[in-house]
Amino acid sequence: MAAGNLIDGRAIAEQIHAETAQRVSALKSRGIEPKQVFVRVGEDPASKVYVGMKEKTSARLGIASETQVLPDATTEAELLALIARLNGDRSVHGILIQVPLPKHISESRVFAAVTPEKDVDGFHPVNVGKLILGDETGFRPCTPAGVHELLIRSNVKTAGGEVVVLGRGNIVGKPMAAILCQKAKHADATVSICHSRTRNVAEHCRRADIIVAAMGVPEFVKANMVKPGAVVIDVGVNRIADPSAKNGSRLVGDVDFARVQPIAGLITPNPGGVGPMTIAMLLANTTRAAELATR
């Protein structure tokens, strides 16, 4: 199929941004300004870029944002003390801990320290538990929630469908499976999670009506792994060597896009697919946190 089978993540993210901006305006008309704080430890270049993009989009939608930058040598206790202070600050509605964190700091302890009501990344054990239980009062992790919105707004039928999620990570793979297997509208799918120990991954993929690739393996999904007409969502971001590129490398997804696109019914480009949706869902979550805090 030609370019007509592309899922335009940027356009769908803009739809969500417009909805979020309306909600922000409604809050501001009541004297409430949604605010989020990004916490970054160290000078990881990718983290600086991601936080910058989030800040820029927040400003466009009228959401206040602040970034707390801590040195690499920050102790876990110091980071937890900052989180405790932000938890107690009523002007802050969302707290985001940018990963990766330095190796001497436990990500799980840090995520669990953010109060669930301000955990707009959806990583606190309470929000993870609510997701598994199908309790919609929690916050869902932004990337799988964004993938779900892409499917919904692209009119992809999930009920009774076979879904293969490639990757079992806590940020995308597991929550993605949990969202799509719920007894709920826009879910009701039969979900398989494939990972590095799965036998015959290609065989699983060939049965799938929907493939969500989140393994972190460059161009892992090949054309012979995709059933004609299947929906292919590429979450991966991988840097590979490319002597012809200006800086000697380029970014690719987990899907061999050029070869898979002609076979797929619908497919996300990379970039321009899932990435913009992650930020859109984050800002929607922050706005919802402000709405819930002021009821």
> CB-side exposure of 38: number of CA atoms within 13 Å?
24
Active site residue 182: no
Q: Which of 285, 281, 277, 280 shows the shortest CA–CA distance to 34?
A: 285
Instruction: Write the CB contacts of 96 (distance below 8 Å, at least 6 apart in sequence).
Output: 36, 37, 38, 39, 54, 120, 121, 282
- Residues β-bridged to residue 255: 221
Torsion of CA 192, 182, 94, 97, to 10 degrees: -20
In the set 121, 209, 234, 256, the catalytic residue is 121
Q: Which residue in 35, 36, 54, 174 is the catalytic one?
A: 54
Active-site entry in 36, 98, 182, 261: 98
Terminal C-alpha separation, the chain: 48
98 carries an active-site annotation: yes
User: What is the rounded CA–CA span in Å between residue 38 and residue 92?
Assistant: 11
Query: Which segments of the chain does DSSP mark as H helices, in order?
Result: 9-29, 45-61, 76-87, 107-113, 125-133, 142-153, 173-180, 201-207, 257-260, 274-293
Decide if 174 is catalytic. no
Sheet (strand 64-70) strand order: 64-70, 35-41, 94-97
- Angle, alpha carbons 59-149-234 (nearest 5°): 95
- Tokens (6 digits) for 62: 């009228």
Active-site residue list: 54, 98, 121
